[in-house]
Structure 1
Amino acid sequence: MGCSPSAETPRSGRAGDGGEDGREEDDAVRVSLSAESRRVIRQSWREIQEDVSRVGIIMFVRLFETHPECKDIFFIFKDVDDVEALRTSRELRAHGLRTMSFIEKTVARIDQDERLEQLILELGRKHYRYSASPKYYEYVGTEFIRAIQPVLKERWSPALEEAWKMLFLYITCTMKRGFQQAQREPAHT
């Protein structure tokens, strides 16, 4: 079936998606981003951008606090247990900004399904090269949502939360597909 950001019937069996019938086993999630969900994501992103650096740091500090096993992916943070050292780390700030930049690109392409899919698939492929297991991907969306709630304050709503959850479900699902595609590729020497 595959992940699709649209409310239309999901596309099926495209070449290169994996499996004999062109489908990924872990990919049977249907993601529906309505026009209203896309609108509220774009609108909230404009507000989040004003504090993007802080959101990135908060997101990763919380990620490492709630799921310390995620630090194993980041060799530089693997043995750092001091939360203040994480908050002031230039490396963590840089990675947080890269992640926020990716989210910005995602929001910019939110109405361009094919371009959005390719962007996210490539990120999944890169995460394979970094040995960043897909089992951690969903945690990032959860911590992003927790980090943006205080930024958006009274503008936060259940509908906005659901829209961001659906977007991150799509990102997670599609990244996993990109990771699996890269995993199946022959090693380049």
Structure 2
Amino acid sequence: MFEDNPTVKSTFEKFRTLDCNQELWENSVLMTHGLGVMSAIDEIISNLDDEDTVYELILEQGRSHVRFGDDLTSDIFWAIEKPFLAAVKQMFGSRYTPKLETLYTVTIHYIISLLTHGFSSKMEEQPRDVFFTS
């Protein structure tokens, strides 16, 4: 993800100073974050039969990212698309079919779209510092 989109790396305060891919792969904070992301996606996929729950889970995940500050934009969520789909393809191996590719592509697009919506709507609610000059 960081190789394809270096601006993503700079968004993460704890990862931006790591110089090489080896340092990233060995970083326990990054590993924990990645496991958390995959766990959240797993929970969403496991609950796809409960549309209301999934909708709220995803929106809340997006809203919760506002706490990371103004440097974060909703575009950051799209950086997970390619690595997620690559992980799914690797997981299925020879059982990976065009139907599975379509299924997981549509699913991750749905998830990311709602994440960005939740994030953007929460950002709009946040008070901004306004300076008035006379």
Range of TM-score over shorter length: 0.7 to 0.9
Q: State whether structure 2 residue 100 is matched by structure 1 residue 160.
A: yes
- TM-score (norm: length of structure 2): 0.87
The equivalent position to 2:16 in structure 1, one of 57, 62, 78, is: 78
1:186 deviation in Å?
Answer: 4.5
Match for residue 175 of structure 1?
115
Give runs of aligned pairs for residues 61-140 of structure 1, distance below 5 A.
63-131=1-69, 132-140=72-80
Contact map agreement 2:8 2:79 (CA 8 A) in 1: no
- Residue 91 to residue 158, structure 1, CA distance change in 2 (3 Å): same
- Residue 120 to residue 154, structure 1, CA distance change in 2 (3 Å): same
The amino acid across from 2:122 in the alignment is A
Q: Distance in 1 between matches of 2:63 and 2:101?
A: 28
1:143 deviation in Å?
Answer: 1.1
Identity of aligned residues (%): 28
Q: Distance in 2 between matches of 1:119 and 1:159?
A: 26
1:80 deviation in Å?
Answer: 1.4
- Which secondary structure state, in structure 2, belongs to the residue aligned with residue 65 of structure 1? coil
Q: Distance in 2 between matches of 1:93 and 1:64?
A: 13
Q: Distance in 2 between matches of 1:88 and 1:186?
A: 36
1:81 deviation in Å?
Answer: 2.3
Contact map agreement 1:127 1:133 (CA 8 A) in 2: no
Runs of at least 4 residues off by over 3 Å: none
The amino acid across from 2:81 in the alignment is G
Could you list the runs of 5+ residues in structure 2 that have no partner in the other structure? 128-134
The amino acid across from 1:175 in the alignment is L
Match for residue 131 of structure 2?
none
- Cα RMSD of the aligned pairs, angstroms, is 1.3
